[in-house]
């Protein structure tokens, strides 16, 4: 049988999700925890490969097993072998054909900016502070230019190994709450560092540090015309969306609601 799980994590002290030879990753921690309760080495599928330092609220992973346990025992068993910064939240029985990555319809991210001239120590791990006065209306206008299917070559890292830079963005919006700015983007898939470069670009435009529009930068298909890659600390993977028939928990739609702010 195949089981799928939703998991949240603080990515600060991990070298991303995907297992690596000489670094501590989320995938490695999950597979070790699963092996502790199944007695067998397990290789998991996952919905999104988040980079080092990126957080997640509803990452989805799956694996096959012949071991039968109560749903609650699966969750408690895995969590008992995980560090406090990783927590499995939900379990789902899925068809054998299900794959966390390939069954996903879209993926959803939010980037958190703390817009203040004063430094707040306890926000550093989960946001990116910008001291400049930002033009929120201009940011909202520019971010809408990302919506649609485009070649996002201008918004990928130099080490990105994706064969296809064409992605489709379904939603891109800016919301504010007190001194926080939340930028949310939904797409069928993302290139490496794509969200962090997209947000860095609209920040530069709002600060008059880039005279091109987002549409013009997209047309350039050249990374040198886009903005800086922002730090990973402000980025949250809200989760993937699947066909409603699978009854897998929907991604977090609003980061502020998730934290009851």
Query: Which residues in the chain show pLDDT less than 50?
Result: none
Assess whether 79 and 145 both reside in one domain. Answer: no
Answer yes or no: do 78 and 17 share one domain.
Answer: yes
The active-site residue, picked from 10, 51, 62, 204, is 51
Same domain, 68 and 123: no
Question: Residue 252: inside a domain, yes or no?
Answer: no
- Assigned domain for 115 exists: yes
CATH number of the domain residue 21 falls in: 3.30.70.580
Q: Are 151 and 39 in a shared domain?
A: no
pLDDT value for 191:
95
Q: Is the pTM of this model over 0.85?
A: yes
d(CA 196, CA 190): 11
The question of whether 51 is a catalytic residue gets the answer yes
The answer to whether residue 10 is domain-embedded is: yes
In a domain, 250, yes or no: no
Which pLDDT belongs to residue 258? 66
Residue 249 maps to a domain: no
pLDDT for the residue numbered 244: 86
Question: Are residues 92 and 210 both part of a single domain?
Answer: no
Residues 120, 40 within the same domain: no
Specify whether 69 is located in the same domain as 143.
no
Segments forming the whole domain that contains residue 20: 2-103
Give the separation between CA 211 and CA 227, rounded to whole angstroms. Answer: 11
Question: What are 148-169's pLDDT values in tens digits?
Answer: 999 999 999 988 888 999 999 9
Whether 118 and 136 map to the same domain: the answer is yes
Q: How many domains does the chain have?
A: 2
3-state SS of the chain is: CEEEEEEEECCCCCCCCCCECCECCHHHHHHHHHHHHHCCCCCCEECCCCCCCCEEEEEEEEEECCCCCCHHHHHHHHHCCCCCCEEEEEEEEECCCCCCCCCCCEEEEEEEEEECCCCCHHHCCCCEEECCCCCHHHHHHHHHHHCEEEECHHHCCCCCCCCCCEEEEEEEEEEEECCEEEEEEEECCCCCCHHHHHHHHHHHHHCCCCCCCHHHHHHHCCHHHCCCCCCHHHEEEEEEECCHHHCCCCCCCCHHHHCCC
170-224 pLDDT, tens digit per residue, is 999 999 988 999 999 999 999 999 999 999 999 999 999 999 999 999 999 999 9
Report yes or no on 251 lying in a domain: no
């Amino acid at each position: 049988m195949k089981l799928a799980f939703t998991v949240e994590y603080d990515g600060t002290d991990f070298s991303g999700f995907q297992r690596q030879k000489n670094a501590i990753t989320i995938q490695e921690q999950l597979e070790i925890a699963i092996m502790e309760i199944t007695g067998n080495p397990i290789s998991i599928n996952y919905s999104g490969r988040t980079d080092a330092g990126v957080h997640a609220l509803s990452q989805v992973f799956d694996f096959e097993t012949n071991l039968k346990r109560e749903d609650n025992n699966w969750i408690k068993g895995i969590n008992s072998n995980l560090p406090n910064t990783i927590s499995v939240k939900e379990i789902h029985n899925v068809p054998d054909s299900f794959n966390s990555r390939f069954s996903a319809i879209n993926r959803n991210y939010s980037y958190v900016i703390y817009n203040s001239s004063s430094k707040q120590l306890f926000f550093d791990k989960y946001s990116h502070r910008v001291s400049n006065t930002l033009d929120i209306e201009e940011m909202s206008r520019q971010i809408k230019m990302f919506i649609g299917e485009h070649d996002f070559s201008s918004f990928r890292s130099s080490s990105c190994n994706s064969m296809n830079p064409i992605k489709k963005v379904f939603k891109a919006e800016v919301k504010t709450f007190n001194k926080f700015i939340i930028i949310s983007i939904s797409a069928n898939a993302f290139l490496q560092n794509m969200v962090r470069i997209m947000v860095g670009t609209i920040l530069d435009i709002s600060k008059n540090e880039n005279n091109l529009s987002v549409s013009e930068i997209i047309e350039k298909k050249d990374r040198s015309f886009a903005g800086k890659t922002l730090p990973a600390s402000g980025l949250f993977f809200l989760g993937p969306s699947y066909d409603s028939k699978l009854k897998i928990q929907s991604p977090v739609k609003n980061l502020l609601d998730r934290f009851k702010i």
